[in-house]
Amino acid sequence: MSALAGLLSERGIRVRGCDARESVFVRELRQRGIAVTVGEEEITEPTVVYTEAVDIHSAMLEKARAEGKRLLTRAQILGMIAGEYPHVLSVAGCHGKTSATSMLAHVFFHAGKQATCHIGGEDLDFGNYRSTGNEYFLTEACEFRRSFLSLESEIAVILNTDLDHTDCYKNAGDLLEAYKKFAAAAKSAIVNADDANAIGIPHALSFGLHAGDIRASKLYSDGEYYTFTLSEKNIPVARIRLHVLGKVQVQNALAAYAAARLSGISPREIAEGLEEFRGVKRRFERIGTLNGIPMICDYAHHPAEIAAALSTAEGLCRGTVRVVFQPHTYTRTRDLMADFVAVLKRAENPLIYRTYAAREPFFFEGSAPALVSRIPEAQYVQTPSDLRRRLTETAQKDDLILVLGAGDIDEIVRGLLD
């Protein structure tokens, strides 16, 4: 939402906003001259754009609707903005969207393309959006409430089709049908060949570590980063050294390469652009130390993301990986409970912080205490001071603190740092 506000403001449109609480995004918008208040307020503007995470029957929206104001969802306004560009590249998937879209942006900017990039996180170089021109529009395509169906893409990328957002999808089949519609609406689709469901979607190119048109071979960890040979339909075309942690980033790079190739960018320019990418905030980001113990934050809030982050951390840590996890929404925790339990049992005495409810009311079956009750070694944590105390008691030299979650846990732990 803050990226869209910035894009609209740059186009000379008068933008004002409100949010539920103070945040870094609110402060950044104010620094750009966009007024943002916290809490409910009177809406005087004729058009209201709201995120799908807001209750459609909230008092502010109900009043705006009664007054005859024009109401647009975030997805609708994103689709309208994208529709003004000749070429639209959209990146979808349960996880990896922000990193893959940012990688794609670095490739396009390095190649000198006239492009605008819009992401849901913050690239370490350009934040959550950057514009060098109006030929290409690069954006994340979110599956929540089927919002990505508002985009008409020239190239649609599907990174994975893992089940998520069970509050708006009945089952995995229902979600897969949405991905199929997203791909069908594009001129060309790119899918993950390692994803058994995605590979069945009609596509122009596929990518993967184990199968696909775009592959990575001779893969090895060079220090903390991966280096690999990229092959295009079994022909080696480039040697790439990534400057971001995690094997999952290799797949994101393959997806970005495929999309850039369909856009006519050369293998050399793509490789150079990928090597310029330094990461995204809260995507396995080193943020500092607590009592001298290094701390890494990752946005992981789905079992598959937690597994990937934990594997990367285990490869870097000489001691014990101390996991702090904040569940994100009660429905996700309840419906994926068995998967959360299985992956968190891999960690030694994980700390489970109070749930970030987002848009949902409390119910015990999907709460953090319910998750803790199924993991004998886990401990429930309610406050920042309690979190500091428990980490101080357990973390030792050579350990690594891995903080996982998409809620406010990032801001909380940054306040505990040395």
Are 345 and 374 in contact, with CB atoms under 8 Å apart?
no
Which residues on neighbouring strands pair with residue 158, listed in sequence order?
Answer: 92, 191
Sign of CA dihedral 123, 141, 11, 55: negative
pLDDT at 221 over 90: no
Average pLDDT, integer, range 359-383: 95
pLDDT at 304 over 80: yes
pLDDT of residue 40: 86
Q: Are strands 127-131 and 47-50 parallel, antiparallel or unpaired?
A: unpaired
pLDDT of residue 52: 87
pLDDT at 277 over 80: yes
pLDDT at 5 over 80: yes
At 223, is the pLDDT very low, low, confident or very high (cuts 50, 70, 90)? low
pLDDT at 224 over 80: no
At 222, is the pLDDT very low, low, confident or very high (cuts 50, 70, 90)? confident
Average pLDDT, integer, range 2-25: 92
Neighbours of 88 (CB within 10 A): 23
DSSP 5: H
pLDDT of residue 168: 87
Mean of pLDDT over the chain: 95
Using one digit for the tens of pLDDT, what is the confidence trace for 108-146? 999 999 999 999 999 999 999 999 999 999 999 999 889
Task: Identify the CA nearest to 266 among candidates 111, 105, 34.
Answer: 111
Rounded CA separation 55/217 (Å): 47
pLDDT at 167 over 90: no
Which residues on neighbouring strands pair with residue 16, listed in sequence order?
Answer: 35
SS3 state at 151: coil
Percentage with pLDDT > 70 across the chain: 100
CA distances from 375 to 61, 342, 360 (A): 41, 9, 24
pLDDT at 248 over 70: yes
SS3 state at 359: coil
Average pLDDT, integer, range 48-71: 93
Neighbours of 194 (CB within 10 A): 17
On whether the pTM is more than 0.85, the answer is yes
SS3 state at 353: strand
- Only one residue has tokens 């009750």, namely 373
Using one digit for the tens of pLDDT, what is the confidence trace for 193-204? 999 999 999 999
pLDDT of residue 109: 98
CA distances from 109 to 20, 86, 88, 126 (A): 34, 17, 15, 11
Average pLDDT, integer, range 351-365: 93
pLDDT of residue 64: 95
Average pLDDT, integer, range 276-305: 96
Average pLDDT, integer, range 374-399: 96
pLDDT at 401 over 90: yes
Average pLDDT, integer, range 17-36: 92
Average pLDDT, integer, range 364-375: 97
Average pLDDT, integer, range 376-380: 96
